[in-house]
A = this chain, B = another copy of it.
Amino acid sequence: MNETVIRPIARFESDFPEKFGIPRQAGVVEALRGRVVFEPAWRSDDALRGIEGFSHLWLIWQFSENLREHYAPTVRPPRLGGNERVGVFATRSPFRPNALGLSCVRLLGLERTADRGTVLLVGGADLMDGTPIFDVKPYLPYADAHSEAKGGFAPDAGETLRVEIAPASLEKIPPDKREALRGVLENDPRPRYHGDGERVYAMSFAGLTVRFRVSEGTLCVTEVEETT
């Protein structure tokens, strides 16, 4: 078993300071915005030459949060209600032998900055703020797009919730974050094994603490405040 050492080439910048609320897969909430910020050693416009010709990119990254100490060959994916066990290689669960994540994101633009070189603006990512990124690759539709593929126990993105946000709460959300936040909430950020309609959940997003309850297919935002 030969070991290999890999090093982050970039970090991800996103509106999720914590894991709770991050969509279960990339692309589920297209309105989410994030940035790939290269580490100083890999800041080079040459290394990005031609990347703007691709609409989508792959990110290979590290599950850096909530890792378990001991490996188990099965996991309980939220998509199966959180109580059915599936083999780890049949899931995209973070609890895997090498904690590598894989996400397809939309490339929205290149931003030239004074202090951080050229940064990639991307859409739809499911990465937490600060996530180490090991590789950026172009998405090649002729090799990567298989719309006919069979998706096992996760054939689609799953059911969505109806989301209600009272006007007073909505006002506290910056206009350019509203669509993304609504998308996150519609896709049900709860761990699936909780079903208590009275329970209040708190999610951190874009500097806000968003509190909500879920009952009978409707998610109701009860409070929005700036995170202190």
Give chain A interface residues in 51-105, CB to chain B under 8 Å.
Answer: 51, 53-56, 58, 60, 62, 73-74, 85-92, 96-98, 100, 102, 104
Neighbouring B residues of A91 by C-beta, 8 Å: 50, 137-138
Stretch in A12-20, A38-46, A190-198 touching the partner? A38-46
CB 8 Å contact bits of A151-170 with B (1 = contact, 0 = none):
11111110000000000000
Q: A7-B1, A74-B46, A138-B91 are in contact. Are A150 and B54 (CB under 8 A)?
A: yes
CA distance A50 to B148 in the complex (A): 19
In the assembled complex, the Cα of A73 lies from the Cα of B48 at a distance in Å of 8
| A135 contacts B87, C-beta separation under 8 Å | no
Is A25 an interface position by the 8 A CB rule?
A: yes
Tell me how far the C-beta of A81 lies from the nearest C-beta in chain B, rounded to whole angstroms.
14
Q: What residues on B are CB-neighbors of A88 within 8 Å? A: 47
Q: Chain B nearest CB: distance from A131 CB in Å? A: 12
Question: So how many copies of this chain end up in the complex?
Answer: 2
Task: Pick the residue among B6, B47, B142 that contacts A155 (CB under 8 A).
Answer: B142
Contact check, A53 vs B152: say whether CB atoms are below 8 A apart.
Answer: yes
Known contacts A2-B8, A60-B60, A143-B28; decide if A74 and B87 are in contact (CB<8 Å). no
Interface size on A, residues (CB 8 A): 72
A195 CB, nearest partner CB in chain B, Å: 23
**A89 CB contact (under 8 Å) in B27, B51, B55:** B51
Contact pick for A5, options B5, B50, B55, B132, CB 8 Å? B5
Complex CA gap A4/B61 in Å reads 11
* Contact sample, A vs B, 29 pairs, CB 8 Å cutoff: A1-B7, A1-B39, A4-B5, A7-B97, A25-B143, A27-B143, A28-B143, A46-B73, A46-B87, A47-B73, A47-B74, A48-B87, A49-B87, A50-B91, A53-B90, A53-B152, A53-B153, A54-B149, A55-B146, A58-B102, A60-B98, A60-B100, A89-B136, A100-B134, A102-B102, A104-B144, A141-B148, A142-B155, A144-B145
